[in-house]
A and B are shown apart, each in its own frame.
Chain A
Amino acid sequence: SQQGEEDPQALSIQEGENATMNCSYKTSINNLQWYRQNSGRGLVHLILIRSNEREKHSGRLRVTLDTSKKSSSLLITASRAADTASYFCATDDRKSHGSRLTFGEGTQLTVNP
């Protein structure tokens, strides 16, 4: 199965609520990244967390990484309708050459106004 599995597959919340998405992976990694995608097209990079980091913040985003459990979470606080999109985690496999990313299947977030 593919590394970087997101949970849940779909999430629907009201504007103003927080959204939490989880990601699990299988191998040792250099870093883990979260991307956002609207309408099945280009991916927008949100945040990168290195394997030696445990938590990172960027605006309304908070990412945690637990390498012992091989898991990460993305928290979006005070969600807005414009946050509606698919969110993917992607891992950079330490064993691979270069920085090929392995993506999960994504979480579809719907924020209702």
Chain B
Amino acid sequence: GAGVSQTPSNKVTEKGKYVELRCDPISGHTALYWYRQSLGQGPEFLIYFQGTGAADDSGLPNDRFFAVRPEGSVSTLKIQRTERGDSAVYLCASSLSWSTGTDTQYFGPGTRLTVL
């Protein structure tokens, strides 16, 4: 089956604008994760969903960031009033479940966000 897909692959926006980044997880995966990766760094956790609910959003940097997963499948990461410091690659991952702590997370190709 298809892997995790993310759209768009690249997004260029202006400071202060609103952006939405979309993630389609692997079919049947109940857990979905968002990470952010700055140049030369490893990915940093933002938020994860168990089904439709955000089980842990402690990685979101501030209230400009919000994510939803209304039907337990596709997720959208929303960033309001973008700042230049938000520029990064936003990675989405999904796994079969979350409870055991042993399920592999499969990553999408990422969305490269550039805020001018």
Contact = CB atoms under 8 A, between A and B. Distances in A.
Interface residues of B, number: 33
A100 B45 contact: yes
Interface residues of A, number: 29
Nearest to B6: A42
A20 interface: no
Interface stretch (A65-73, A75-83, A103-111): A103-111
A21 to B, nearest CB: 13
B2 interface: no
B95 interface: yes
Nearest first, the 7 A-B pairs at minimum CB distance are: A103-B42, A30-B101, A42-B109, A98-B98, A43-B107, A100-B45, A103-B43
Interface of B: 31, 33, 35, 37, 39-45, 48, 50, 55-56, 59, 89, 91, 93, 95, 98-99, 101-110, 112
